Structure 1
């Protein structure tokens, strides 16, 4: 079942994130408080996939009124290749469409072969015409990568 994510899903989603090899988690943004803040700003467009009574997939989805963005798209390794990821993306994009958002973007780490193959397979276009820049405002927001 694909449904809208709520803060009550945090423990299940965070547990899933911790299982995904190479997944980057930020100490502030991905804390319960950080996710609660994100969901309050974007209450209807993040999604989870639930199966066998547990969360097996999730997408944080937000927008700024102009462009949507997908974050932390993942499916538990034991549930992959069953259409769950694509169904979650469709649900999030339908929710963005309801909010009159016309374009959606995401970032996939270059070493994320599984993720990059997924995005290419479902019709997303890799941009080669721009550079992506970051500026860190909160140096306490450290990214740690899962090594499993």
Structure 2
């Protein structure tokens, strides 16, 4: 557990779901889908134990969360969110570092993030923190 800046980081567990869902729902540009039900997130966490993370302030409030998972060779981060009250304090960077450290320890070679093009704050965060848009491929999707 890391308590720098009075913010504690710890692994995301399903008991965190309601607080995380409320945080995600409060973020402009972060969209939720049928893949974000409590049941679906529980399956994701079970398949990727210890990779996702939450940030808790000194009052016990969740001020950050991100889902992180991998398939053994590539990883993805989903729904990085930091409460407006905690922005500018390095919380988002620490959440990502937590995930990257675990992915590196698992010998995962690369990680992707999915950010909607209209999410200006999210895109600015990722681009300012060493992530890039390779502009060489696109994601195609099909609902099942």
CA apart distance, 1:106 = 0.8
Partner of 1:92: 99
Q: Is 1:42–2:45 an aligned residue pair?
A: no
Which structure dedicates a bigger proportion of its chain to helix? 2
CA apart distance, 1:108 = 0.8
Find 1:13's aligned residue among 9, 17, 20.
Answer: 20
Q: Aligned residue pairs: how many?
A: 136
Find 2:81's aligned residue among 49, 58, 74.
Answer: 74
Q: Is 1:109–2:116 an aligned residue pair?
A: yes
Within 1, Cα distance between the matches of 2:22 and 2:140? 29
CA apart distance, 1:49 = 0.6
CA apart distance, 1:22 = 2.8
Q: TM-score by structure 2 length?
A: 0.91
Which structure dedicates a bigger proportion of its chain to strand? 1
Within 1, Cα distance between the matches of 2:26 and 2:136? 33
Structure 1: runs of 5+ lacking an equivalent: 138-148
Root-mean-square deviation (CA), in Å? 0.9
CA apart distance, 1:131 = 1.6
Partner of 2:63: 56
CA apart distance, 1:17 = 1.1
Q: TM-score by structure 1 length?
A: 0.89
Per-residue displacement from partner, 1:5-42 (whole Å, max 9, x unpaired)? 00111111011111112321113x11110110000000
